[in-house]
Amino acid sequence: MTVALVGYTNTGKSTLLNAMTGADVLTKDALFATLDPTARAFEIEGVPFLMVDTVGFLQALPHHLIEAFKSTLESALHCDLALIVCDAAGDYGMQLNTTLKTLADLGFSAPHLVILNKCDVAPEGYFPRDAVRISAKTGAGLEELKRRIFDALKDNFVRAELFIPYAQMGGYGNLRPLLTERSVKYTDDGVNISAIIPAIYAEKFRRFIK
């Protein structure tokens, strides 16, 4: 499952990617520090996710630039969840609207969470109720963010205990790339596997589920 970081430029998307995944992506107090999408793996409660960083948006982005960004954003457009990162110390209303409009122009339709970053330097004030308030710099709010990501995506996968008789290992082998194995234990007559299966493929594994 892929979580894409999208939003206005300089709001802290790459800093958040680094904080969530232990990556070492360039972050900079400058416009367009990120020009190519970077993906990193991370886990929440033992479930693997992929986080994709993207180029930042600007207000009134010229159309030809949106076209150019389209390919860069392609990986993000196919995400299961978008995190719209805004700067809580800046004009986050404008940033959010610009991002929503740009995403709409790109034909984006996946669910999203609004993230208000830089809360360590933001003044107290009114913030959108459902937004997740964090500081990618200090780590504040990241546990809550993980809970919200997990919650938003929990219908997309199932955790299952599988038993594969040795005689059926061939059939299982063909399906194996579709799931993530968390633990594998061999017994006399087959293999016990703790797995995380994308919900859309769960049916294919039905005969192996204990």
Q: Which is nearer to ligand GTP, 95 or 195 (CB)?
A: 95
User: Do 144 and 152 contact (CB within 8 A), yes or no?
Assistant: no
Cβ 209 to Mg ion shortest distance, Å: 41
Residue 102 near which of ligand GTP, Mg ion, none (CB within 5-8 Å, type-dependent): none
User: What phi and psi values does residue 116 have, to the nearest 5 degrees?
Assistant: -100, 105
Total Cβ atoms within 10 A of residue 77: 18
Provide the minimum distance between the beta carbon of 57 and ligand GTP in the complex, in angstroms, as a whole number.
Answer: 8
What residues contact 106, with CB distance under 8 A and at least 6 apart? 66, 70, 73, 77
Interface ranges with ligand GTP (CB under 6 A): 9-15, 27-29, 31-34, 56, 117-118, 120-121, 135-137
- β-bridge pairing 38-44 and 2-7: unpaired
Comparing every residue's Cβ against ligand GTP, the nearest one is: 56
Nearest approach, Cβ of 107 to Mg ion (angstroms)? Answer: 23
Residue 82 CB partners (closer than 8 Å, separation 6+): 3, 4, 5, 6, 76, 103, 108, 110, 111, 112, 113
Which of ligand GTP, Mg ion, none does 135 bind, CB closer than 5 to 8 A by kind? ligand GTP
Q: 56 or 190: whose CB is closer to ligand GTP? A: 56
Which residue, 116 or 197, has its beta carbon nearer to ligand GTP? 116
Compute the least distance from the CB of residue 7 to ligand GTP, in Å. Answer: 6
> Which pair of tokens denotes residue 145?
């963010």
What residue ranges bind Mg ion (CB under 5 A)?
13-14, 33-34
- The residue (of 117 and 197) whose beta carbon lies closer to ligand GTP is 117
Alpha helices in the chain (DSSP H): 13-21, 63-77, 92-105, 142-153, 169-175
12 binds, among Mg ion, ligand GTP, none (CB under 5 to 8 A by kind): ligand GTP
| Closer CB to ligand GTP, 29 or 124, in the complex | 29
- Least Cβ distance, residue 87 to ligand GTP (angstroms): 8
Q: Is residue 194 exposed (0-12), middle (13-18) or buried (19+ Cβ within 10 Å)?
A: middle
